[in-house]
Amino acid sequence: MPTHANFRTETTQLPPLQQGEALVKTTYLSVDPYMRGRMSEAKSYVPPYQIDAVMGGGAVGEVLESKSDTLKPGDTVVGELGWQTHAVVSADRLHKVNTDLAPVTTALGLLGITGLTAYFGLVDICDPKPNETVVVSGAAGAVGMVVGQIAKILGCTVIGIAGSDEKVAYLQDELGFDHAINYKTTENMYKAIKQACPGGVDVYFDNVGGTISDAVLGNISDGARISICGQIALYNLTQADVGPRAQTPILIHRAMMKGFIIMDYAQRFPEGVKQLAKWYGEGRLKSEETVVDGFDKTVDAFLGLFTGANLGKQLVRV
């Protein structure tokens, strides 16, 4: 588990603006579980963070100065600003946010990376059909919450797994999940999932891995599709995790399991944003966020992801 000792805050002088760059004042920062992976040298799909460098990460901000033809002062933008109150960034790495579409914070959540992860990871990989049973772990988080709502829109029966009674109640009462399970208070997750999914699990969207996924995989139906999105239960482990191997249920049930990294879908982001924004506009998709106030709370907000402090997308209002 990372601690405050892994981070420090510095005040530095930003470089002068070069042609094609913009000076951006950060308004909202995103903290994300993948950042934990980048705090490790283990082989991954992106290089690790460099010691003594600024923490990278997505953020929304306001352009203060611009030496680019595409951006002007006052524009709201989203991009890799990192954990900084101000950043000098090449304008071609920033996207203008259409603030008429939805609140600006959705550019980091529902209409941003986490919403797109839910959309493509569920629809493209699992192809859920009406009346199928969909289970999602990490269900009350940024990705999971959108997965469950999309599955409901597509006519599926949806079971969410989350870490508190409040989250379980929220998923059922506010988002219309058919059932939700608190994995922290449930003694036998295998039995709980079996009871909630009498016909088996047709689609499993995995955000957490570990023993929760073992319990779900023991309950899959013939032809099940499993999307491996994240393994947050394992990110802080110092030793390899050993559990029941998933291959047997996959073999017996002729199931398909596929991992994905959302940036592989970058070319299709406009299609995903269009669909998510349409559902949001129609009131069929809700955006839930937990926002902490103050740049100095960024590390707390990040660490809170590993204790389940957040409901929906965790943001920092700078």
Smallest gap from residue 224 Cβ to ligand NDP (A):
19
Which residue do the tokens 């129609």 mark?
Answer: 282
Q: Which is nearer to ligand NDP, 21 or 289 (CB)?
A: 289
Q: Which is nearer to ligand NDP, 105 or 207 (CB)?
A: 207
Q: Binding to ligand NDP by residue 66, rule CB under 6 A? A: no
Residue 136 CA to residue 130 CA, distance in Å, equals 16
Q: In this chain, which of 310, 315, 316, 318 binds ligand NDP, going by CB under 6 A?
A: 310
Smallest gap from residue 32 Cβ to ligand NDP (A):
5
Q: Binding to ligand NDP by residue 306, rule CB under 6 A? A: yes
Q: In this chain, which of 26, 117, 287, 298 binds ligand NDP, going by CB under 6 A?
A: 117
3-state secondary structure of 161: strand
Smallest gap from residue 168 Cβ to ligand NDP (A):
9
Taking CB under 6 A as the criterion, which residues in 13-42 touch ligand NDP? 32-34
Q: Can you list the positions of beta strands (E) in the chain?
A: 21-30, 58-66, 76-80, 86-90, 94-96, 133-137, 157-162, 179-182, 201-206, 220-228, 256-259, 289-293, 313-317
Smallest gap from residue 165 Cβ to ligand NDP (A):
11
Cβ atoms of 266 and 67 within 8 Å: the answer is no
Residue 80: CB atoms within 10 Å: 12
Amino acid of residue 132: E
Q: In this chain, which of 57, 58, 79, 141 binds ligand NDP, going by CB under 6 A?
A: 141
Q: Which is nearer to ligand NDP, 68 or 310 (CB)?
A: 310
Q: Binding to ligand NDP by residue 59, rule CB under 6 A? A: no
Stretch that binds ligand NDP, among 112-120, 194-202, 249-257, 274-282 (CB under 6 A): 112-120
Amino acid of residue 16: P
Taking CB under 6 A as the criterion, which residues in 166-195 touch ligand NDP? 167
Residue 151 CA to residue 273 CA, distance in Å, equals 17
Cβ atoms of 77 and 60 within 8 Å: the answer is yes
Taking CB under 6 A as the criterion, which residues in 201-260 touch ligand NDP? 207-208, 212, 229-233, 260
Q: Binding to ligand NDP by residue 133, rule CB under 6 A? A: no
3-state secondary structure of 210: helix
The pair of structure tokens assigned to 50 is: 């460099």
From the list 68, 76, 71, 70, the residue with the least C-alpha distance to 26 is 76
Q: Binding to ligand NDP by residue 142, rule CB under 6 A? A: yes
Could you tell me which residues are beta bridge partners of residue 228?
206, 259
Amino acid of residue 188: N
Annotate each residue in 71-90 with x if it binds ligand NDP (CB under 6 A) or - if it does not, as one string: --------------------
Amino acid of residue 135: V
Binding site for ligand NDP (CB under 6 A): 32-34, 113-114, 117, 138, 140-144, 162-164, 167, 207-208, 212, 229-233, 260-262, 305-306, 308, 310, 314
